[in-house]
Each structure stands twice: as C-alpha cells, then as structure tokens.
C-alpha cells in the first residue's frame, strides 16, 4: 500500500482508533516511554504517532523543558492527538503531518516508533535513517508485535472478509516486515544491524477481554480496517456479522496483543 493509501485508511479510522486507544494503544505507548527512559528536558521524535498514545506520555516525561515532535501521515489522527495534548495542558508537543522518510529535523535524544516501522517503505532503510536523526548517545525505541500476537484474531477476521468477498484476502504488506522482528532475538539482531549498541528488548504482555463489540472496535481502530477497503456498507455489515459468529463458534474470548519493545543507543 502507498503512503497515501495508508494515510487514507487511518484517516477513516481516526474516531475508532481514538476509541480503542484506552484498551490497546495507550498501554503500549506508556510502556514504550517507560522502557525508553525518557527524561526531563529531552528532545523526542515520535514516528507514526497516531492519536498520541506514545507522544503524550513522552511529553509528560520530557517536561516543560523538553520537546516532542509527533509526526504521522494521517491528518485526522493528528487532530485527535492535538486535542488530547490540549486537554492535558501539554505545550511541549507538536503534532505534524509529515513523512518519516523525509523528516529532516535533528538531533534528538530519543526517536520512538510504536507499531509503525513495518508500515514504512523499505523498513531497513527507514529505520537506519531514523537512527541517523539521533545525537550520539541517543536512543531508538521500536515497538512491534510479538510472534503470535494478533494472529488468531487476524485469521478469523480474514476468514470473515473472505466469506463476504468470496475470494482470498491477501495479507497486508506490513505483515512480512513485522515477521522479521517478532522475537526478542530477531529484534535485537535487527537493531544491532542498524548500528545501535546496548540493545535491550523487553516483552510487554497485554491481553484484552474480547466480545463481538470490542472485537469490531479493534478492527475499525487498527490496520485491520484496510481489509474492508472497497466494500459497500451492507457488505461491511455482513463481515461484522460473520466475524462475530466466528468469534463465538471458535470460543475466542481474549485478544493477545503482546508487544516487544527494543531500545538501542547510537554510538
């Protein structure tokens, strides 16, 4: 999917993305900021920031003498982030519609990207470039799905979509990139290969109780929504019904959203 296509998917999902954040995105954002060890006065770049799940806690941690640049392609997600920061009275964060592959500002004490690096075109080149935006001694934090996380959920949702489309559904292009960094060893090796030192990978377990309403909220407030592209509203309703039925039949009552958080230092 092109950058414009990704932005369009997440723009459409903005309201649902914000709604599901307390269950899914916010805990991951808070955990990433804590693991990265953002300190008062530090300058932070948050890439693929969405509605601010990691940018807002980063701004809190950086304090009034620090600063956070939060960038994303999706304007509607950014608007939610601005409202959230304003509600908390945070003046040290700015939400900017920008492409991470061309962002020039530097240097930063911390660059963080929560569940976003696998959406970037040419993940290797993009992550190496983000590392170059750090000052010497600065930290890169990358959060990604652990192996097996979201898989059963995604498999059932794809089955529901295929039932309605009456055709196989291709896995998202981001899946192949994400699968390269879905174990502690793989993420450690990957970040070391980008020139980072003192890499530490932390597992963040997260399990969300699931019913059909919450499951559909997760679909609409995440990248899974892209699988509905091109379907008319009645067809989307059929997918929702089929998905709910599959969840009940297969007894899926929880969503495994376990993540890995890798933090490394630029020499």
Mean pLDDT, rounded, of the chain:
94
**Which domains, and CATH codes, for the chain?**
3-150+171-209+256-265 (3.40.50.150)
Query: Global pTM?
Result: 0.93
pLDDT value for 136: 98
Residue 171 has pLDDT above 90, yes or no: no
pLDDT value for 49: 97
pLDDT value for 223: 85
Could you report the per-residue pLDDT of 89-105, keeping only the tens digit for each? Answer: 999 999 999 999 999 99
What phi and psi, each to the nearest 5 degrees, are found at residue 144? -145, 165
Could you report the per-residue pLDDT of 21-71, keeping only the tens digit for each? Answer: 999 999 999 999 999 999 999 999 999 999 999 999 999 999 999 999 999
pLDDT value for 12: 64
pLDDT value for 172: 75
Is-contact 225 77, C-beta < 8 A?
A: no
Is residue 115 very low, low, confident or very high in pLDDT (cuts 50, 70, 90)? very high
pLDDT value for 177: 93
Could you report the per-residue pLDDT of 232-248, keeping only the tens digit for each? Answer: 999 999 999 999 999 99
Is-contact 187 142, C-beta < 8 A?
A: yes
pLDDT value for 33: 98
The fraction of the chain above a pLDDT of 90, given in percent, is 87
**What value does the mean pLDDT take over residues 114-125?**
95
Q: Is the dihedral of CA 226, 229, 233, 239 positive or negative?
A: negative
242: three-class secondary structure by DSSP:
helix
Residue 3 has pLDDT above 80, yes or no: no
Cα dihedral value 28, 29, 31, 32, nearest 10: 110
pLDDT value for 11: 58
Is residue 13 very low, low, confident or very high in pLDDT (cuts 50, 70, 90)? low
With CA atoms as reference, report the closest residue to 10 among 177, 222, 219: 222
**What value does the mean pLDDT take over residues 194-216?**
97
For residue 140, the surrounding DSSP H or E stretch is strand 134-145
246 Cβ contact partners less than 8 Å away, ≥ 6 residues apart: 156, 159, 160, 252
């Amino acid at each position: 999917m092109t950058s414009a296509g990704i932005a369009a998917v997440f723009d459409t999902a903005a309201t649902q993305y914000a709604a599901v954040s307390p269950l899914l995105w916010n805990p991951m954002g808070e955990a990433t900021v804590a693991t990265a060890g953002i300190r008062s006065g530090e300058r932070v770049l948050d890439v693929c920031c969405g509605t601010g799940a990691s940018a807002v806690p980063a701004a809190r941690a950086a304090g009034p003498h620090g600063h956070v640049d939060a960038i994303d392609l999706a304007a509607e997600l950014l608007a939610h982030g601005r409202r959230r920061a304003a509600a908390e009275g945070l003046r040290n964060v700015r939400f900017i519609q920008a492409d991470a592959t061309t962002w020039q500002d530097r240097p930063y004490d911390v660059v963080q990207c929560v569940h976003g690096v696998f959406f970037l075109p040419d993940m290797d080149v993009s992550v190496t470039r983000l590392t170059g935006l750090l000052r010497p001694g600065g930290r890169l934090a990358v959060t990604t799905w652990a192996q097996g996380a979201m898989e059963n959920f995604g498999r059932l949702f794809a089955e529901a979509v295929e039932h309605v489309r009456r055709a196989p559904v291709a896995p998202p292009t981001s899946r192949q990139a994400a699968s390269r960094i879905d174990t502690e060893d793989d993420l450690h090796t990957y970040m070391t290969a980008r020139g980072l030192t003192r890499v530490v990978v932390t597992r963040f377990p997260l399990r969300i109780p699931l019913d059909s309403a919450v499951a559909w909220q997760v679909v609409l407030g995440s990248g899974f929504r892209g699988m509905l592209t091109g379907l008319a509203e009645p067809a989307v309703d059929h997918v929702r019904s089929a998905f709910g039925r599959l969840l009940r039949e297969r007894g899926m009552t929880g969503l495994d959203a376990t993540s890995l958080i890798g933090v490394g230092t630029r020499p």
